[in-house]
Amino acid sequence: MTAPVAFTRDHLDWLPWVEPLAEAELTAQHMIALVDAARAKSEYFRLPARDPDALEHRTRTDKDIFYNTDAGAPRADRELAAAAVSRFNGCIYCASVHARFAATYAKREADVDRLLAEGVGVDLGERWNAIVAAAVALTALPMTFGPEHVTRLRAAGMDDLAISDVIQGAAFFNWANRLMLSLGEPAIKG
């Protein structure tokens, strides 16, 4: 398989450098840890399944950040934060996933494509610029994130719950990118 050389919203494969558990090796405990049975098909999820307790905590955290939208930031904003972090970190695989979701939920495909093509400095309008700036500050060096980022997010119309969602999405994907980038690489589906 060929590695992608540019950021994209296309569906990509991910190839592990460390052997994941085989699907046939997954126990009932592993399936609980995966949360969604369909994840058993993913080499990425079968790799951390070696520690099912940690995988379950990781997956439930991810699900709560991105799927629990009863209050706080809309899903598009959460996905944008993850896409911006992934673009900044160079995680082509995660950027493709979260850019697809951001584009779908926001209906702003052209803006998301510009973020992928031009990077985190692109002008996406003040609300999205504030989200990207906060996400990048947390990613580059967390102590560079400060009250000015919160003030900017509030000025863009976000309440405390929405700001918390953006921070959690960015922080989680900063960690997730580093894990994925150290365990494997993206590949173009073929």
Selected residue with higher pLDDT from 152 and 142: 152
What is the distance between the alpha carbons of residues 165 and 186, in angstroms, rounded to a whole number?
27
Residue labelled with tokens 């003040």: 126
pTM of the full structure = 0.94
119, amino acid identity? G
* pLDDT for 68: 87
pLDDT digit string, tens, across residues 2-36: 999 999 999 999 999 999 999 999 999 999 999 99
Average pLDDT of the chain, as a whole number: 95
| Cα 107 to Cα 24, 75, 103, 147, distances in angstroms | 39, 12, 5, 30
Percent of the chain with pLDDT over 70: 100
Q: What is the pLDDT confidence band of residue 189, given thresholds at 50, 70 and 90?
A: confident
Mean pLDDT of 125-154: 96
Query: Predicted confidence band at 163 (pLDDT cuts at 50, 70, 90)?
Result: very high
Q: Tell me what pLDDT residue 71 has.
A: 87
Provide mean pLDDT across the span 96-102. 97
C-alpha atoms less than 13 angstroms from C-alpha of 27 in its C-beta half-sphere:
6
Residue 90: phi, psi to the nearest 5?
A: 85, 20
pLDDT above 90 for 69: no
Buried b (16+ CB within 10 A) or exposed e, 142-167: eeebeeebbebbeebebeeebbebbb
* Strand positions, DSSP E, the chain: 12-16, 184-188
Asked if residues 30 and 49 have their Cβ atoms less than 8 Å apart, the reply is: yes
